[in-house]
Amino acid sequence: MTEHSGKDVLSSDVEIKGSIKFQKELLIDGKVEGEINSDGVLTIGENADIRGEIKTKSITVFGKVQGNITVGERCELKSKCTLQGDLKAARLIIEEGATFIGKSEVSSGMSVKAASRPEVVRHEESAKPAFAARA
């Protein structure tokens, strides 16, 4: 078997019905109907049309996905992509022009909650002592 350092590619003329599992990096530019599972990095190309559940470590979407996406780390929705389905990710980037129809849940454990709540609390706490000191 020949070793290569690039991504594995399913080109635009490929159609698959069934489940896909891969280890490192995969670029899908064709049609897939079924489940995609991986601990690797998935790229959905501009010509891709995916119908099914996707569970992976990281994903970048340029094409169409109809189904739920669960990502352990980073999800990036590019400007011309379409996602119809729910999304769970630790980090989410949505470019202007992307179409996303569904619910999203972005959480990387306690760090997201800790970062969002104290900002509101700090504003309230800092306002009270400032007024109390002036009075």
pLDDT means per 10 residues, the chain with 135 residues, are 64 91 93 95 96 96 97 95 96 95 80 40 47 50
pLDDT at residue 74, rounded to an integer: 94
Q: Quote the CA–CA distance of 112 and 1 in Å, as a whole number.
A: 44
Distance of CA 79 to the CA centre of its chain: 14
- Asked if 68 contacts 84 with a C-beta cutoff of 8 angstroms, the reply is no
pLDDT at residue 8, rounded to an integer: 86
Domain positions in the chain are: 8-108
Q: Quote the CA–CA distance of 46 and 128 in Å, as a whole number.
A: 53
Pairing of strands 99-101, 82-84: parallel
pLDDT at residue 12, rounded to an integer: 87
Count CB neighbours of 132 within 10 A: 8
pLDDT at residue 5, rounded to an integer: 53
pLDDT at residue 101, rounded to an integer: 96
